A = this chain, B = another copy of it.
Amino acid sequence: MQFEIMRDRLLDGLSDVIKAISHKVTTPILTGIKLEATEKGLTMTGSDSDITISTFIPLEEDGTQIIRMIQPGTLVLQAKVFNEIIRKLPTNEVMIELRDGMKTHIRSGQSEFHIIAQSADEYPILPDVKDAERFELPADLMKSIIRETVFAVSQQETRPVLTGVQWTMKEDELYCIATDSHRLARRIITPEVQASIPFNAVIPGKSLQELSKILPDHSNPVEIFIANQQVLFKLHNVLFYSRLLEGNYPDTSRLIPNEYKTSITVNGRNLLQAIDRASLLAREDRNNIVHFSTDGSSHIQISSNSPDVGNVEELVEAVQIEGEPLKISFSAKYMMDALKAIDGQDLMIHFTGSMRPFILKSIDSEAILQLILPVRTF
């Protein structure tokens, strides 16, 4: 194997692939990146066995020569060392050459590295996504969907299926749902290109977080292939595979109330800042609980206290308050997460009593719903 490549483009590709490399990997070959040099270009693959990322660099891009291919071949190089070497090389021209068995020479300017490679024979093949359901979403919309749901997945491994986000296609709508059983985030989307048949998959939250870092901010389509045990997100020149979580995702539809006793319209940013301040003292007690009440006036009262430190009272002017007066307590963190996910100006909060789950929605759209279970304190 021998080729010359532009360092900056190689670094771009590496920055994607390296996101799949884990420090905790048990299979030694997975500490490496697989390089496949062909007459068409260079493919690099990294994996931690849950996530696999593969990126392709063509010989030429936009009329500029990126790679001069002298001899195709494949090998595996230690990911961390390879990435750092490339990052620190003195010039933009890099020659990579395998000779003398498994010794790989990396030359740039007056700098020459000789790195021991591993054989690509041991490297796992790419996951199988044959017979997958296929649909498309714009990249920036996918980024939003992830941001609006993934924070609500469970951080505990006691129910592994809850560490993922459930993606379900039914009646031409894609439902993305995450819950840790104390709160729930739901996003509904109508994809322009439909999957041929309904599907139901639970994608690990961690995979979606890594994917989000790679997704560009423009609206170019991402192709999504959902197979039996794997999902593939196909971007321009990048393939992102993730395993799917097994197990039955709970039926969350019954959780969501559709009758309300108190409905409040309020500016999301004002409410977020007031909860954030109240949580300064809530946090001191480590339970992170704030109290929320209405008294018939146009204000919401938010308060919290910590016996050792003191207490705080906030008034937030509501746009509208309908229904019964309310006293309720909840986790400041959950409320702040939900408010950040909605990220709009005005939003509605619907309550069904102080011990029942309540929901938050944008006033403009039904697409995002956040649900939070209260805590008994009043």
Contact = CB atoms under 8 A, between A and B. Distances in A.
B114 A81 contact: no
A89 B310 CA distance: 16
A90 interface: yes
Contacts of A110: 274, 314-317
B312 A78 contact: no
Interface in A87-129: 88-90, 103-104, 110-116
A259 interface: no
Nearest to A103: B310
Given A81-B284, A84-B280, A85-B280, A312 B273 contact: no
A216 to B, nearest CB: 30
A231 interface: no
Contacts of A276: 88
A274 B90 CA distance: 8
A273 B90 CA distance: 8
Contacts of A313: 111-112, 114
A308 interface: yes
Given A85-B280, A277-B85, A280-B85, A310 B113 contact: yes
A309 interface: yes
A281 interface: yes
A106 to B, nearest CB: 9
A88 B273 contact: yes
A297 interface: no
B274 A310 contact: no
22 contacts: A78-B309, A81-B281, A81-B284, A81-B309, A85-B277, A88-B273, A88-B276, A90-B273, A103-B310, A110-B315, A110-B316, A110-B317, A111-B277, A111-B313, A112-B312, A113-B310, A113-B311, A114-B310, A114-B313, A115-B309, A115-B310, A116-B309
A-B interface, 4 closest residue pairs, ranked by CB to CB distance from nearest: A115-B310, A110-B315, A113-B312, A114-B310
